[in-house]
Chain A
């Protein structure tokens, strides 16, 4: 780990001023940043600790029925907030499908949004990586790339964004509140993460000093609560990143889909929401035929970036499965294995 200055500002404006300096980074729980610093991938000259900034740790219900989630709310606290989980069950399920109990207790909302790719070449200083060192090349292209992107990638970078939380948030039109050098502004979460193009080093629309202060969900987002799931396929059932994941949400009226939301994770450098698929679902009966059509549309533009053509068919099947599970109704409580299409054998006791 490189040496750095450590600053713990008392107010948001002080934090923004301190973090606008070149080489500065915000420190929330550090579960991603410290990991990257240990590997030499991130080398901030200054850490600006935001964990004690006032006003960042509350879940506030807005008068219009929306909700405002402070950037320092911990992932576990948000997932277990009863009113939040009841209103936005797919978001709670996505949170609980991510990382581990320990990590979720620490990880913050802001840090989760801004976690960096898990591309192994990005994490390895001996590999060429355009995201880490612009212009150096991309060793993933001819390397181990089964888990890389199938949508929105470029010749410069085929990495995916690893967050589960962001996937249902994008489906629900979340908005990010940012405090920067020019004051307060808002960016739709769908526009926070960038596709790589020819500048994969720039993950997001944020500028130096920009502090995420909150994420907001609009009032209408709770209308999907009765039919909302987040399904995440992994290489092991828990404590693993998504191979592909899907947030599927339906608003049913008289046995017909009045409105649908569909966003994929693990397939691109940002959560991948598909308006065509959503529109095709609206007005249809919630049956296999409609779900298959939506799956075809959602993956229509997909192409393999390496040994990952399987992810395209896997994602199609996942879309059908996630929509079917959403149509059958949100379970009363997040399932024992959040996001999993599996459950293990009822009893695996060895000494009773």
Chain B
């Protein structure tokens, strides 16, 4: 049996035929849509490398069944820069040296965009660390990550809006 689903991925509608129902959202992005920026670390919800935004909310795509998300609006790391300009969170990660090997970074950035949009941290580093605890970094760039998130959050607030993840989603 085949299943057809359609998703909006980074603003573009994608119709996908699935030959079996077992495909996770992560595998759909990486293997069917060639969007390999989203990483597979543990594949079991334990590391955050696979974080994407679904309808504006950060989730672990490795524990999401693609079929169950038929019709959803997905944003991945490939879709956060706009018109040749990096997303403010991407810029902040560079400015604060918030990475070493970079494997966890797409997940960290998507999680940070989601966290900022959730609007719960009030610029408190403790709340940022807690809010980012679902993203492990084996290079232990945590101090820089916390700095980057705080900085990006401040810049986004100054620019007038925390709605960073959905900027062009109308």
Contact = CB atoms under 8 A, between A and B. Distances in A.
Contacts of B130: 238, 336-338
Interface string A244-288: 000000000000000000000000000000000000000000000
A101 B111 contact: yes
A3 B18 CA distance: 13
Contact of A35 (B44, B58, B143): B44
B131 A106 contact: no
Interface residues of A, number: 39
A350 B143 contact: yes
Contact of A106 (B21, B22, B48, B63): B63
Given A30-B64, A49-B67, A102-B114, 20 more contacts: A8-B67, A47-B65, A49-B65, A101-B58, A101-B131, A101-B134, A102-B51, A102-B58, A103-B63, A105-B57, A238-B129, A238-B133, A239-B134, A336-B124, A338-B130, A349-B125, A350-B143, A350-B144, A350-B147, A351-B144
- The 6 A-B pairs at the shortest CB distance, nearest first, are namely A100-B134, A238-B133, A350-B143, A336-B126, A6-B21, A239-B133
A348 B111 contact: no
12 contacts: A27-B65, A47-B21, A76-B57, A76-B118, A101-B134, A102-B51, A102-B60, A103-B45, A103-B134, A336-B124, A349-B143, A350-B147
A105 B63 CA distance: 12
A348 B125 contact: yes
B14 interface: no
A99 B135 CA distance: 11
A337 B129 CA distance: 9
B91 interface: no
Interface size bucket, B side?
A: 35 or more
A105 B43 contact: no
Interface of A: 1, 3-6, 8, 27, 29-31, 34-35, 38, 47, 49, 51, 76, 80, 99-103, 105-106, 237-239, 336-338, 343-344, 347-352
B15 to A, nearest CB: 18
A6 B67 CA distance: 8
Contacts, number: 112
Given A105-B59, A348-B146, A27 B120 contact: no
B64 A106 contact: yes
A18 to B, nearest CB: 14
B22 A4 contact: yes
Contact of B65 (A30, A343, A344): A30
A101 B131 CA distance: 6
Nearest to B128: A336
B21 A343 contact: no
Most chain-B Cβ atoms within 10 A of its Cβ — which of A29, A336, A347? Answer: A336
Given A31-B63, A99-B134, A102-B134, A3 B22 contact: yes
Interface string B99-120: 0000000000001001100101
A101 B118 contact: yes
B68 A343 contact: no
Most B C-beta atoms less than 10 A away, residue of A4, A49, A239, A338: A239
Nearest to B121: A336
A105 B133 contact: no
B97 interface: yes
Contacts of B125: 347-349
A349 B67 CA distance: 42
Nearest to B18: A6
Contacts of A105: 57-59, 114
B20 interface: yes
A343 B22 contact: no
A15 to B, nearest CB: 14
Given A101-B114, A103-B134, A344 B68 contact: no
B96 interface: yes
A239 B20 CA distance: 32
A13 B120 CA distance: 38
Contact of A34 (B59, B63, B129): B63
A313 B43 CA distance: 36
Contacts of A38: 43-44
A34 to B, nearest CB: 5
Contacts of A34: 24, 63-65
A102 B44 contact: no
Given A102-B58, A105-B58, A349-B147, A29 B133 contact: no
A223 B125 CA distance: 33
A31 B126 contact: no
Given A336-B127, A343-B126, A349-B143, A106 B60 contact: yes
B96 A351 contact: yes
A337 B3 CA distance: 43
A347 B21 CA distance: 47
A99 B58 CA distance: 14
Given A3-B20, A101-B111, A102-B111, A348 B143 contact: yes
